[in-house]
Structure 1
Amino acid sequence: MLCYHPSLDMLVDYSSGALALPHALAVSAHLDQCAECREQLKRLNTLGAELFSEQPTSASDSQLSALKANVLEAIQGQTEVSAKTEVTQASELNETLKDIPASLRRLIPKGFDSLSWMSLTPSFKLAMLSSEPGGAQVALSRIKAGAHMPTHTHTGNEITLVLTGAFSDEEGVYRRGDFICRNDDDKHKPRVTKDAECICLIVLDAPIEFTGWLTRFLNPIMRRFHPNNTPAEA
């Protein structure tokens, strides 16, 4: 059973389409693993549809009927294609992809080991998934069993979604599927459980800052690879 979830405000923004794409990706990956939040989202979507239907419209009844027919036809077609695709994907799913939420498989099509991992310490690696200039950074962190990530603070908001393994910090223990939000008031030292390595999806609005006297040399690297510090191409 998952213990940590996106806030209601975040789910409302996700339902309405107002959530930034990197954050929406993290929420979607959590939804793939959380029946409780999927049910909450279903209620929010229903509420949103009811509110939308109450808005006045200048379209004629015939135009609305035609639009509805076209939408239903498109949905039916997409559902049939989706069903066929899901059957195919299910038959092809193997051990390499089983720990990767469906929402992330386009970014990680060949499994975790196929990514380009950057070693920051002997036990801590990062792999960049998306770094659009001026936006949030989407990456994976990978920490060996029993090891810890260096103590750090946040210079902006951070979302962490556990994909494999588990870790703990001063505020709790987090397992596969748990969704954790941190802001610039937080300082912590995540430690991975001893039974398995831990891989997490992380979304960073701004670079983290390592505070240990031996690990502060990593801060320029973190700033260099964060899109808020990467100039846009001309």
Structure 2
Amino acid sequence: MINYHPSIEILTDYAAGSLPLAHSLCVSTHLERCHECQQQIRKLEMLGSHLFDQTKTDSRQLSNLKDSFFEKINAQAEQERDSLKIEEEPAEIDWDNYAIPKSLRQFIKKSYDDLNWMRLSPSFKIATLYNEEGGAQIALTRVKAGAHMPTHTHTGDEITLVLEGAFSDESGVYRQGDFINRDASHKHKPIVTKDAECICLTVLDAPIEFTGWLTRLLNPIIRRYHPHSSR
């Protein structure tokens, strides 16, 4: 069961086509597995179409359109959450045989093992999928079962989507399909569950920064490979 989802603001930007491409990729991948957010997107698209059809494009109306749009969206979201409680649940996905998400097949042709992984510790490695010039980095992180990623902070926003396995930190436990959004104020030490390795899709607006006395030596490497650092 998926417990963590994109915010209504992120879903709204996605439905409107105004979300940055790297972030849209994460949302698209989440949507492949999340019945609840699929329904939200359909509602947002219908609501947005209705609002724009009913609104003349003069300057005064356009200035109030965004506020009106979000008010209606939030009301609709509340109704949607209530209705989801009584709707029939979708069929369970066979996670053991789940293939590479469709949205990632442009980067991953056959399997995760075929990627060019950079090992940062005996239990933790990373594979860069795409760097936006001077912008965000799309990457995969891979951590062995029962191991932890070094304690780190964020120098920008980070989106994490769990593709395989599960991990926990000070704020909760995250499993396949969960969508986690962190900002620069957050510091954590993810720990992978003992039953399987954990593979996550990440979008980093700026490099993470390790805080341990030894792992700090990795920070120059992380910065070197992040497009944000070349600005």
Q: When the two structures are superposed, what TM-score results if normalisation uses the length of structure 1?
A: 0.80
- The reply on whether 1:146 has 2:146 as its aligned counterpart is yes
Residue 228 of structure 1 and its aligned partner are, at CA, apart by 1.0
Deviation at 1:134, TM superposition (A): 1.0
Q: How does 1:99-138 map to 2 (within 5 A)?
A: 99-138=99-138
Distance in 1 (alpha carbons) for counterparts of 2:191 and 2:37: 27
Quick check: which has more Rg, 1 or 2? 1
Partner SS state of residue 194, structure 2? coil
For residues 111-165 of structure 1, what are the alpha-carbon distances to aligned partners after superposition, in whole Å with 9 as ceiling and x for unaligned?
1011000000000000000012211000000000000000000000000000000
- Which amino acid in structure 2 is aligned with residue 137 of structure 1? Q
Alignment of 1:158-169 (within 5 A): 158-169=158-169
For structure 1, list consecutive stretches of 5 or more residues without a partner in the other structure. Answer: 58-94
8 Å Cα contact 1:99-1:163 kept in structure 2: no
Report if the CA contact (8 A) 1:96-1:110 is conserved: no
Tell me the CA shift for residue 97 of structure 1: 8.2
> C-alpha separation between the residues in 2 aligned to 1:101 and 1:55?
38
Structure 2 residue identity aligned to 1:210: F
Instruction: Give the alignment of 1:164-179 within 5 angstroms.
Output: 164-179=164-179
How far the C-alpha of 1:55 sits from its partner, in A, is 4.4
Aligned pairs for 1:34-49 within 5 A: 34-49=34-49
Cα displacement string for residues 179-229 of structure 1 (whole angstroms, at most 9, x for unaligned residues): 000011100000000000000000000000000001000000110000112
Aligned residue number for residue 19 of structure 1: 19
Q: How high is the sequence identity, in percent, across the aligned residues?
A: 63
**RMSD of aligned alpha carbons:** 1.7
SS in structure 1 at match of 2:177: coil
**Shift in Å, 1:100:** 2.0
Pairwise CA distance, 1:99: 4.0
Cα distance in 2 for partners of 1:15, 1:143 equals 32
Q: Which amino acid aligns with 2:28?
A: S
Q: Paired residue for 1:217?
A: 217
Length, aligned pairs only:
194
Question: Which stretch of the first structure deviates more once superposed, 47-56 or 105-114?
Answer: 47-56
The structure-2 alpha-carbon separation of the partners of 1:163 and 1:13, relative to structure 1 and needing over 3 Å to count, comes to same
Could you tell me which residue of structure 2 aligns to residue 226 of structure 1? Answer: 226
What is the match of residue 196 of structure 1?
196
**Cα gap change, 1:172 to 1:99, in 2 (>3 Å):** farther
Deviations 1:37-73 (A, max 9, x none): 000000000011112323459xxxxxxxxxxxxxxxx
Is contact 1:26-1:161 (8 Å) kept? Answer: yes
1:106 Cα deviation from its structure 2 partner: 1.4
Q: Aligned letter for 2:25?
A: L
Structure 2 CA distance, aligned partners of 1:44 and 1:132?
Answer: 28
Q: Which residue pairs with 2:98 in the alignment?
A: 98
TM-score by length of 2: 0.81
Aligned to 1:87: none
Aligned to 1:86: none
2:39 matched to 1:29? no
Q: Does 1:8 align with 2:8?
A: yes
Give the match's secondary structure for 1:134.
Answer: coil
Q: Distance in 1 between matches of 2:96 and 2:207?
A: 30
